[in-house]
Amino acid sequence: MGYDLAIGDRAYSSWSLRGWLLFTKTGLPVSVRMGRMYGPEFQRLLEDFAPAGLVPALRLPSGRVIAETLAIAETLAERHPEAGIWPADPEARAVARWLAAEMHAGFGALRGHCAMNLRVAYADCAPPEGVLKDLARIESLWALARRDFGAGGPWLFGRWSAADAFFAPVAARIAGHALPVGPEAAAYVRTQITDPAFVAWRRAGLAEGPDQPAYARDWPTRPWPEG
């Protein structure tokens, strides 16, 4: 028995994207089960992955179910140290865990105003002050990681790590909502949204049934940015 991962709509479920990337970017095998949110199919999925209650949820080979993306990341890192889920350098690893934890717990203004929606891109979402403050904090964290640990590649810590999984939906929000960031942050956003794993996830999300009305916004639209 292998790993089973429960996810919601790929176009909208930011936490599902994070959980899925932990497997896809590391090559760890997993069976994925998707349920369209807000409907009976999704409720049945949650019941099957009880007591998790939210997605993503992971069933371990033993049959034990765990939830919360940080817990999933740490569990996989512990079980598969060769997968490179966290940076190998101890200081880089500590900072990567810090950034992932801050993302997990914070940036409520950005999340509330700019829900992830990979089916549409907006020309102007009129970001309020709280969103701009969140963006400034995110840019400072990205700049710190890139300055101190990012010399080996385009990701936050050079090579891809779980920190990048946690910030993938943030990059999607910045790209999809035309949020104002500086050139270094914009380059990292391009790295995220042009990565083959993200492109495949978004393509699958576009094919998953009709739009979810809860994510509709009355803002002017534009073509999805291709990086």
pLDDT in tens, 5-34: 999 999 999 999 999 999 999 999 999 999
Region 89-99: what's the mean pLDDT?
Answer: 98
Query: What tokens appear for 94 in the block?
Result: 């500590």
Instruction: Kindly state the helix (H) or strand (E) to which residue 150 belongs, with its residue range.
Output: none
- Which domains can be identified in the chain, with CATH numbers? 4-83 (3.40.30.10), 90-206 (1.20.1050)
- The pLDDT assigned to 62 comes to 97
Comparing C-alpha atoms, which of 27, 25, 20 is closest to residue 5?
Answer: 20
Tell me the C-alpha distance between 106 and 110, whole Å. 9
- Dihedral over Cα of 60, 25, 204, 206: its sign: positive
pLDDT-derived band at 209, boundaries 50, 70, 90: confident
> Contact 165/103 with Cβ under 8 angstroms?
no
- The pLDDT assigned to 227 comes to 57
- The pLDDT assigned to 104 comes to 95
Query: What tokens appear for 52 in the block?
Result: 């998790």
Tell me the C-alpha distance between 13 and 18, whole Å. 9
> Contact 118/202 with Cβ under 8 angstroms?
yes
Comparing C-alpha atoms, which of 74, 137, 130, 77 is closest to residue 102?
Answer: 137
pLDDT in tens, 135-175: 999 999 999 999 999 999 999 999 999 999 999 999 999 99
